[in-house]
Amino acid sequence: MIDDFSSEQKKYLKKVKKDKKIILLFQIIILLFLIITWEICSIYGIIDSFIFSCPSRIAETTIDMLLDGSLIYHIWVTLYETIISFALGSILGIIIAIILWWNNKISKVLEPYLVVFNSLPKTALAPIFIVWLGNNTRSIIITALTVSIVVTIINVFNGFINVDKEKIKLIYTFNGKKKDVLKKVIIPANFSNIISTMKVNIGLSFIGVIIGEFIAGKAGLGKLIVYGSQVLKMDWVMMSIIILALLATGLYELIVFAEKKVNKLNK
């Protein structure tokens, strides 16, 4: 019986691996098809490569800017600003969510302000921060922080207040304190929620940084996109967008990797 179960399990695992390979294969095929179609359309004049650019021109531009070092600098600036804003948004957001959970009166007072601030277009705030803080990296980081922090607070706080009440009562039954509830129940029960929020947060941080660089950036991929569109260097624009997508995906996968490592340690 055990041997039969073991063989069935092996078949299932093989099927899962096979399905993953098939999905990856189709993803690569679709990507290659889009790139090749784009290049062919530009070669035969179906689209104007000056307006829409093309893969070969983007690749050439990327190599040239890598060789002169300018692209590495712009990537570093955007990555630095994103990581700082992401870290601040995640840490401060979780701390504020804990404070709101800890004190019900504070949460009720601040709730309407959080809702309003969350619905406010952050592009409207960016010029204000530039006037207050100057045309510098600090204003870009603060702009990105405003994009991500409220989402973090709301998501994490909602997770806190929806924890099973019976588990909380159990802690109090054994003479536990509120800090014990937070440490033993609230945080462990919301680990997946916090990680999910961080996955969203990394994308929001990129959005905030690019908004800030559009308006106040002296360097970075956002600056490259704005300048490239102004002088009609669409190769720069398309290259920057592709790099942004790769960076966002890479950071997202790092969070997923960290999540898997922590889950293994907790087992």
pLDDT band at 167, cuts 50/70/90?
confident
From first CA to last CA, the distance across the chain in angstroms is: 27
Tens-digit pLDDT profile for residues 212-239: 888 887 888 988 999 888 888 888 999 9
**CB-based burial, 17-41: b 16+ in 10 Å, e otherwise:** eeeeeeeeeeeeeeeeeeeeebbee
In contact, 52 and 234? CB cutoff 8 Å: yes
The DSSP output letter for 184 is I
pLDDT of res. 1: 42
pLDDT mean over 39-60: 87
Q: pTM for the full model?
A: 0.83
pLDDT mean over 30-38: 92
Half-sphere exposure (CA, 13 Å, Cβ side) for 53? 22
d(C-alpha 221, C-alpha 240), whole Å:
6
pLDDT of res. 91: 92
Determine the residue type at 6.
Answer: S
For residue 91, which of 79, 99, 80, 102 has the smallest C-alpha distance?
A: 99
